[in-house]
Structure formats: structure tokens, C-alpha cells
Amino acid sequence: MIHINIYRYNPEKDKFPYMQTFEFEKPKRDIMVLELLNQLKEKDPTISYRRSCREGVCGSDGMNINGKNGLACITPLSSVVQKNKLDLRPLPGLPVVRDLVVDMTEFYAQYEKIKPFLQNDVPVDIGERLQSPEDRDKLDGLYECILCACCSTSCPSFWWNPDKFVGPAALLQAYRFIADSRDTKTAERLQSLSDPFSVYRCHGIMNCVSVCPKGLNPNEAIGEIKSMLLSGKNKENIIASDGMS
């Protein structure tokens, strides 16, 4: 038997959150944590959690699994159960709506702040903006983020200042547009991140890298943004100096 401890909190009924233990018979074949939750929900329909695609694409079922953030749908039970025990909690740092469901408003507010869309003042004359294969390669490792919030909610800087520190997920996306050769607002994007909180509250502890279920490296992207801010160089400067040499 596996002892599954699940964080329970229903603000309409409970004064305080508590951990509820469920006994679960060890499955013959390895299953994902989401499948385990689905089976438990059949026994207790009040257990609340988000899920949708069940294949690590939608990013809905981010949660804290035995102390480490991850996606329940792509986390095999065998990889997380220790001494027949498993703790499931909501993503840390965000307000809990119910059980494993958190309020993502602050996370999305930071995402909105970095203007996650292509900005280009030059009119398009051939119907689409073209990009060389080399420039397209620069976006690999950046565009794949599914906004599951596992990284940002594992970051202490984001816990303490979710309204000021942009957080690893949104910063990865900020760099995704800064690095995009088709985007012409690099200077403005960097300017909007130049205060002491937005980027500089990242102290490089790399929890974000450790937990990212897609294997991305927000810390590297943050490092690139810091380098651009510190050198005073933006993409246009770099392209101009490359052209002169």
C-alpha cells in the first residue's frame, strides 16, 4: 500500500488547510501521478485539481509532488514514491482556491507585463515576416514554455515579491521576444525590466531549472537579459556592430 497525503482546503468549509491520507494499492504497472489522482477522485469526488491534456502539453496540473514542483501527468509514480509515501500539495506561493488548485492571477499578471507578443513597427510587405534558420534556432529552448508555473512557484524571489519580480517563466518569455530577430522593441523591453526587482531579484539559485518539466533553462535566459542590461547593448547594437565588422 502507498500512503498518499493530499493537501485539502475548502475555504467554504475549512478554517485551516490540512493533509488527508489515502491508502492506495500499489499498481501492477507504473502509472502517472495524475492517473493516481483520477483513481482517488473516483473514491472521493471532492478532491480538486486541474488537468486537461494529460500529456505534458497544457500545463494545467502543475503541483508540488513530494516537495518538488512538477506536472502530475508526466511524473511516474515510481519516480516519486519514497518509503511507500507520497505528499501532494498545491504549487507554493500562490493563493489556494481549493485543494491542489491555485489562483494563478499574479503569475499571469507578470506574464502580461512582459508583452508576450511580437512587436514590429516596420510594415509587412510580403505578407509575413521572414527569419533566417539561424535566427530561428535562437528561439529553441525559449518558445517551448507551457506556462505551468512550476518554475516561478519554486522561486523564493517570486514567493516574496510576486507583484514586482517577473519570475522565471515570464522572464524566459521576455527573452524569447528579445532574442527574436523579427521583434524591434528590444530597447523598450529591456527598459521595462531595468528596475531593481523585475530581473535583478533573480539570485541564480536555479530551482527553476531543476523543476522545469520541459527541461528548459530560464536561468540562462535571465542571465542573457542581465548581460544585455549591464552591457547597455541591445539586439540592434549587436546587429549594427556585427554589420560593421
Partner 1 sequence: MMGSTLFFIQRFSALFLLGYSLWIMTFVFLNQPLEFTAWQIFTNQLEFLILTTLVAFISILHAYIGLWTVGTDYFTSRTLGFLHPELAKYANLIRGIYTLIFCIVGLLIIFIILLTIWS
Distances (CA, A) of 186 to 38, 96, 125, 241: 45, 36, 22, 16
Judged by beta carbon, residue 44 or residue 195, the one nearer partner 1 is 195
- Selection from 85, 3, 12 nearest residue 46 by Cα: 12
CB 85 within 8 A of CB 2: yes
Judged by beta carbon, residue 56 or residue 162, the one nearer partner 1 is 162
Judged by beta carbon, residue 126 or residue 230, the one nearer partner 1 is 230
Judged by beta carbon, residue 111 or residue 165, the one nearer partner 1 is 165
C-alpha span between 201 and 203 (Å, rounded): 6
Beta strand 101-102 pairing with 96-98: antiparallel
Q: Please, what is the minimum distance in Å from the beta carbon of residue 200 to partner 1?
A: 4
| Cell 528548459 found at | 216
Judged by beta carbon, residue 116 or residue 156, the one nearer partner 1 is 156
CB 170 within 8 A of CB 178: no
C-alpha cell at 105: 492571477
Q: Please, what is the minimum distance in Å from the beta carbon of residue 221 to partner 1?
A: 16
**173 three-state secondary structure:** helix
Q: Please, what is the minimum distance in Å from the beta carbon of residue 38 to partner 1?
A: 32
Q: Please, what is the minimum distance in Å from the beta carbon of residue 203 to partner 1?
A: 9
Q: For 236, which DSSP code?
A: H
Residues that bind partner 1 (CB under 8 A): 156-157, 160-162, 194-201, 226, 229-230
Judged by beta carbon, residue 188 or residue 195, the one nearer partner 1 is 195
Q: Please, what is the minimum distance in Å from the beta carbon of residue 228 to partner 1?
A: 10
Beta strand 2-8 pairing with 85-89: parallel
Q: Please, what is the minimum distance in Å from the beta carbon of residue 160 to partner 1?
A: 4
